[in-house]
Structure 1
């Protein structure tokens, strides 16, 4: 990642890579087992930004990285789902009585509380776990591309 990239773009890119590691790993396994390790290696290289992926390394990455990839997929998926839900609060809960909701009695207040509250949650609570999970995924990728023959 370039040093000129803003922190928000860097965070979004890190979260996207962490989220896509599980589907990309499963696709790489399927491609490798169906005799297309070249396509699988290109897929993994596009996600990780590195090369040196062989069929054996791809299978090892899928097996060894499964716990990290599943946790990252669930955590980032949860954040995406709740982002759509909270930022689109007026759309999803238009027919409910929002006068008693947090931020009420106006819909603008409810939307502000839910949107800003969730944004704060994303920035404070979810940023660090996703960053650590992505760091673990990158460390596993580096180790596998440099140590397996």
Structure 2
């Protein structure tokens, strides 16, 4: 069944990430809460959002978003950069500290993609890529990213 196959792949990506995060907790390398991790993934995916854009996307109040952002700034995972176009506005940028943290997820994804490339023909890989692009652009209209 297609639904179960997709669910299994999605779940395995999540569980691998959780395994690595918990492994790092044991050595005290991880310092993001679960909610902060969700916030960071969203900020990175939105590509330099303002706090207002982040709040609107997450459907939370501006004060709540500001509180979460300030906590992430204190921990060194994001920084606020003043907009050159509008000096009153600040954009949120992920730091190298977060990129190092996030690489856990990216490294595994790259590893799986390399396995896919070795296991399937270039035509099959091209078809998979086409299908994923269609899913992302056409079949998931509820979530819009700046660079899909």
Rg comparison, structure with higher value: 1
The alignment's TM-score, normalised by the length of structure 2, stands at 0.33
Work out which structure has the larger RCO, using CA pairs closer than 8 Å and 6 or more positions apart in sequence: 1
**What is the TM-score with the length of structure 1 in the denominator?**
0.33
Q: Which has the higher helix share?
A: 1
